[in-house]
C-alpha cells in the first residue's frame, strides 16, 4: 500500500532546522567520546601485541578527531542558531510595533 502525496508541492529543496543538526552533532560527540574512553581503557588495561596496539591507537586518534571536530562544529552552529533566533525575534517585535 503506497500513499500518494499529491496535495504537497515539490519545491526541490530539503530544509533542515539548525537545531536538529546541533542535536545530531551532540549525539555524535557523546557516542564518539564514549568509544574514545573505552578505547583508552582497553589500550591501557589489555596486553596487546604490536598489530593490536596500532589498531587501538588508530581508533583512539580517529575518535579524538571526531570528538574535537564535532564539538567545535556543534559550538559554532549553536551560536549561529542563537543569533538567527535573536534576529527573527527582533523582526517579529518590529512587525508588531508597526
**Residues 4-27, mean pLDDT to the nearest whole number:** 76
Q: pTM of the predicted model, to two decimals?
A: 0.71
User: In the prediction, which pLDDT does 4 show?
Assistant: 55
CA 45 to chain centroid, in Å, comes to: 30
CB atoms inside a 10 Å sphere around CB 74 = 19
On whether residue 11 sits in a domain, the answer given is no
C-alpha count within 13 angstroms, C-beta hemisphere, residue 68: 6
Sign of CA dihedral 41, 44, 48, 50: positive
In a domain, 25, yes or no: yes
Q: Max alpha carbon distance in the chain (Å)?
A: 73
Find the mean pLDDT for residues 51-58: 90
Residue 63 covered by a domain: yes
User: CB 29: neighbour CB atoms within 10 A?
Assistant: 19
Residue 5 falls inside a structural domain: no
Q: Does residue 72 belong to any structural domain of this protein?
A: yes
Structural domains of the chain, count: 1
More confident residue, 48 or 63: 63
In a domain, 56, yes or no: yes
- At residue 2, does pLDDT exceed 70? no
3 located within any domain:
no
For 32, the domain range is 19-97
Whether 61 is covered by a domain: the verdict is: yes
Amino acid at each position: 500500500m503506497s500513499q500518494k502525496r499529491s496535495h504537497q508541492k515539490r519545491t526541490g529543496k530539503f530544509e533542515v532546522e539548525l537545531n536538529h543538526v546541533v542535536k545530531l552533532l551532540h549525539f555524535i560527540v557523546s557516542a564518539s567520546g564514549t568509544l574514545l574512553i573505552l578505547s583508552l581503557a582497553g589500550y591501557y588495561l589489555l596486553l596487546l601485541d604490536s598489530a593490536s596496539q596500532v589498531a587501538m591507537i588508530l581508533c583512539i586518534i580517529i575518535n579524538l578527531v571526531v570528538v574535537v571536530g564535532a564539538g567545535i562544529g556543534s559550538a559554532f552552529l549553536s551560536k549561529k542558531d542563537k543569533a538567527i533566533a535573536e534576529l527573527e525575534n527582533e523582526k517579529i517585535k518590529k512587525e508588531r510595533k508597526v
